[in-house]
A and B are shown apart, each in its own frame.
Chain A
Amino acid sequence: MDSKINFAVIVFPASNCDFDAFRVPAELLKQNAKYVWHKDTVLGDVDVVILPGGFSYGDYLRTGAIARFSPIMNEVINFANGGGLVIGFCNGFQILTECGLLPGVLMKNKSLKFICDYVNLKVVTNNSPFTSNCNKGEVLKIPIAHGDGNYFADENTLQSLIENDQILFQYSDENGNITDQANPNGSLLNIAGVVNKKRNILGMMPHPERAVRKILGSDDGLKIFNSIVESFVYQ
């Protein structure tokens, strides 16, 4: 039996980070990876589903708003509800909030501009299959590239995110201080990534799949991918 973990990367029209998300498990982690077309209705034998970044449907109407109606999303929702690991990077996060798998919404950046830059991310908790390999409070250098990353949720939702330890990443300075200056897009509480209550669905605006080799500027993103792989080893 193949003991490798099976990653599926969903391809929506104009998911332009699908290739980047595919490369990490396939080339660097030596796991299995496959693309799944958004019009398909079957996920197949899969352990982890990645909704990649990009501009699904050109971000028309609202980011992620059309992609959530793609045929494959019924399968993804079933898979997630069954406890399967689902990750949304950037546009993937936007799709996950649109289909209600994660709380909150992502609004236009406060500057109203697209921003591509490295940011510092504080790991708020390592109690998740996505951060188990990190230290709590550790600061990761990972890039963002988005125009709509401004995380918003109502008071009650924010309160429950905190109470249930669902905030995984916050924008911080390089020493882990949560400051306004370190907040690139206006997100409430500097939120950069959250999990659901059952802790099997992650959405984050930064792109860990882009920070996987030193020559690209950082390999801190590997810590997140390695956490995922290890979560299966120790199951």
Chain B
Amino acid sequence: MTNLEYKEPIVSENLAISLGLTSEEYKRILDILKRVPTYTELGVFSVMWSEHCSYKNSILEIKKLPRSSEKMLVEAGEENAGLIDIGNNLAVAFKIESHNHPSAVEPYQGAATAVGGILRDIFTMGARPIAVLNSLRFGNLKNNKTKNYLKNIVKGIGDYGNCFGVPNIGGEIYFHECYEDNPLVNAMAVGIVDHNKIAKSSIKGVGRSVMIVGSSTGKDGIQGASFASEDLSEKSESKRPSVQVGDPFIEKLLLEATLEVINEDLIDSIQDMGAAGITCSTSEMSAKGNVGMEIDLDLVPQREMFMTPFEIMLSESQERMLLVAKPGCEERIEKIFNKWDLHGVIIGKTTDTKNLVVKYKRNIIVNIPADCLALGGGAPVYEREVKIPEYIKNPKRELFDFIKPDNYVNEILNILSSPNISSKKWIYRQYDSMVRTSTVELENIDCGIVEIPGSTKFLALTTDCNSTYIYLNPKVGGMIAIAEAARNIVCSGGTPLGITNCLNFGNPYNPEVYWQFTEALKGISEACLAFNTPVTGGNVSFYNQSQNNAIYPTPVIGMVGIINSKDEIIPNKFQNKNDLIYLLGNFSTDLNGSVYYKLKTYSEGINAPEFNLTDEVLLHTAISELNKSKIITSTHDISEGGLIVTLLEMSFNKQNLGFKIDFKTEDRLDKVLFSESQSRVVVSIKQSNKIQFEDLCKKLNQPCHILGSVEKDSIDLNGEVIENINLFRSVYDKSFENKLNN
């Protein structure tokens, strides 16, 4: 089997279509090249013009998002991750990305490489990753398929991040039937970089050496970007070779070597290789720098023999980077990568032709203007049709009614044991959350908090998205996703700085899906403006659907905030016996979108839960002001499960501090307890601060209602529920694992 003669398939429109291009796009290629493309060129176009790389069906909408602030150091989408100034000559680099399709067909590797890919986006900018988070969605936990997905995806995330050595400090997990065949795996990474060490991907000079560093190139993940740009189907199983295989050990070495060459100022520019591998990094870096590039595939270190040029160009083998060396620095770069037992090989040079030229066995097999391949250049851009879905156009008039329960304990236990509420410790215990010794003890705060190395400040990090709310009302639901993320940061004592988003939707060619997409983005925009949190970048994942069932619209928000000092961190557990407990915001009986309503009626409602952006902004100001005055001893926001779940979660503390609540209400108590109406938090304060607290709330126009006080060991709810904390706590702690293993 030696000397296999390599024969390329004959290029035709049909071949182009089989690679995922449209007839129009094929004609456009003929126009650009003024000739028939080679097979490898066709492959290059097919991945670069895929949804995944080109954002062709979303870019027009994304450009409408608020994407600027004086603190942003790179324009949104310009670099591999967003970058925000945090003072002390430091910047935070952060981004969230999806790996949904790979995780659906190969859960372990799909999830592992989700983490690997997003980490590279951070350290390719010169930033050392200091935290990762992940946002996961699964189908019904009762199904074996879901359990299998969950166990493997969690293991994949854990194995990769644990070995790499980055603390996994938060995220969220939801279960809903709409994710049965389409689990979502979104990973977010956050890093810190000195202003003068920021590395960029835009090439600065011509005649400079282009180097490939890290792992060798193999036959894995070929055309992964195209695979991510179509619906999942039964045939998707056969796409398993499109899934990349991760090696966190190599990634850790790549991190250290990459930061070393950046710190020693040896490089002109650098970009990681993710989707579309060598193709994407060579064409994007060239296009951004407005230069050309000539590379020779025979020089690329290869994992196996007989790789075709098509395969080398389209391989998505992990743990690789493309960099351009500063003149004369090639040897030092090679030496550093070799020290870490990695490749550091020159494969070409930058040119002044503005074309991407690729040689294989001395023949030129690709010669394309780089600009034509890249987003913002010649890649296609489409405007998509929208149509208001029937369930929005003609909604049901009112919510179903049901009988008031006579036993609240059972209702509360049902809620606490539901997978969307119960403790996910079984999952996060498998993630190393403490490596690098900067993680503030996690179990007591509304979001993940890490110390900023080289500073006395902290970063507060969260991901949020309740897709039921967004399905019920995409615009308001979109606002709520931002509001909740910001609320979590404010409740932990921080100030929101900016967001990254991962927009998970169905097929964009379905006008109803696209309507959800545009509406959700409108809501996100409005709320981002209100909280002064610009969109610094992110990722769009369409085609999350199979057999005509699209997922609920799931725009996951990753938000970064800053906490100025240790004293400003607010715990979310009760701290002292006899402290007074208040509700900031108003009582509500709105059950739309709530966990309780779904348990009772097997339906979700007719609208998103009550939400008012102005009230929400006021609430955040109030919490910040109260925190500045050192009045709050603990705070926790009201979200899934409603007021009662918030109160109970505040009671699941080390000192076993519960509550005695006694408030008057004309309304049905169950609705008041379980409503997920927004813009509300529970706070506790010292008794001696009662007057000061109430005065301050009044001054800030913040409605507040006294609920009761903190009591040792017991839960007393208007005298209707009197129990020991441990009854609720054991259900909250153990339900998830029990359900998973049964």
Chain A positions near chain B (C-beta within 8 angstroms) = 13-14, 16-17, 19-20, 23, 54-55, 57-60, 113-117, 143, 145, 147, 207, 209-210, 212-213, 215-217
Asked if residues A17 and B252 are in contact (CB atoms below 8 Å), the reply is: no
Asked if residues B163 and A58 are in contact (CB atoms below 8 Å), the reply is: yes
Contact check: which of B162, B249, B253 meets A145 at CB < 8 Å? Answer: B162
Contact check: which of A57, A117, A207 meets B429 at CB < 8 Å? Answer: A117
Which chain A positions have C-beta within 8 A of B163?
14, 16, 55, 58-59
A-B contact pairs, 24 of them (CB 8 A): A13-B249, A13-B253, A13-B340, A14-B165, A14-B248, A19-B436, A54-B165, A55-B162, A57-B249, A58-B163, A58-B247, A58-B249, A113-B430, A115-B430, A117-B429, A143-B434, A145-B434, A145-B435, A210-B434, A212-B437, A213-B437, A215-B440, A215-B451, A216-B440
Within 8 A of A (CB), among B522-542: none
Interface size band for B: 20 to 34
Which chain B positions have C-beta within 8 A of A116?
162, 429-434
Shortest Cβ gap from A90 to chain B (Å):
10
Which chain B positions have C-beta within 8 A of A16?
163-165, 252, 435
Within 8 A of A (CB), among B243-259: 247-250, 252-253
> How many angstroms from the CA of A29 to the CA of B164 in the assembled complex?
27
> How many angstroms from the CA of A16 to the CA of B162 in the assembled complex?
9
Asked if residues A114 and B165 are in contact (CB atoms below 8 Å), the reply is: no
- The A contact surface, by secondary structure, is mixed
Q: Closest A residue to B154 by CB, please name it.
A: A113
- Per-residue CB contact flags for chain B residues 693-735 toward chain A (1 = under 8 Å, else 0) read 0000000000000000000000000000000000000000000
Q: Is B598 an interface residue (CB 8 A)?
A: no
Most chain B CB within a 10 A radius of its CB, from A23, A57, A115, A216 = A216
> How many angstroms from the CA of A213 to the CA of B158 in the assembled complex?
25
Within 8 A of A (CB), among B323-348: 340-341
Q: Closest A residue to B340 by CB, please name it.
A: A13
Instruction: Compute the total of residue contacts between A and B using a CB distance below 8 Å.
Output: 83
Q: Is B600 an interface residue (CB 8 A)?
A: no
Within 8 A of A (CB), among B153-167: 155, 158-159, 162-165
Asked if residues B437 and A216 are in contact (CB atoms below 8 Å), the reply is: yes
> How many angstroms from the CA of A217 to the CA of B442 in the assembled complex?
8
Which chain A positions have C-beta within 8 A of B249?
13-14, 55, 57-60
Which chain B positions have C-beta within 8 A of A212?
437
Q: Is B690 an interface residue (CB 8 A)?
A: no
> How many angstroms from the CA of A55 to the CA of B129 in the assembled complex?
17
Which chain A positions have C-beta within 8 A of B439?
216
> How many angstroms from the CA of A215 to the CA of B248 in the assembled complex?
29
Asked if residues B165 and A217 are in contact (CB atoms below 8 Å), the reply is: no
Given the interface contacts A14-B163, A16-B163, A59-B163, does A114 sit within 8 Å of B432 by beta carbon? Answer: yes
Given the interface contacts A14-B249, A16-B163, A215-B440, does A115 sit within 8 Å of B435 by beta carbon? Answer: no
Which chain A positions have C-beta within 8 A of B434?
116, 143, 145, 207, 210, 216-217
Within 8 A of A (CB), among B223-265: 247-250, 252-253
Asked if residues A145 and B441 are in contact (CB atoms below 8 Å), the reply is: no
Q: Is B71 an interface residue (CB 8 A)?
A: no
Q: Closest B residue to A19 by CB, please name it.
A: B436
> How many angstroms from the CA of A215 to the CA of B434 in the assembled complex?
12
Asked if residues B432 and A145 are in contact (CB atoms below 8 Å), the reply is: yes
Given the interface contacts A16-B435, A143-B434, A145-B435, does A216 sit within 8 Å of B441 by beta carbon? Answer: yes
Contact check: which of B252, B430, B437 meets A114 at CB < 8 Å? Answer: B430
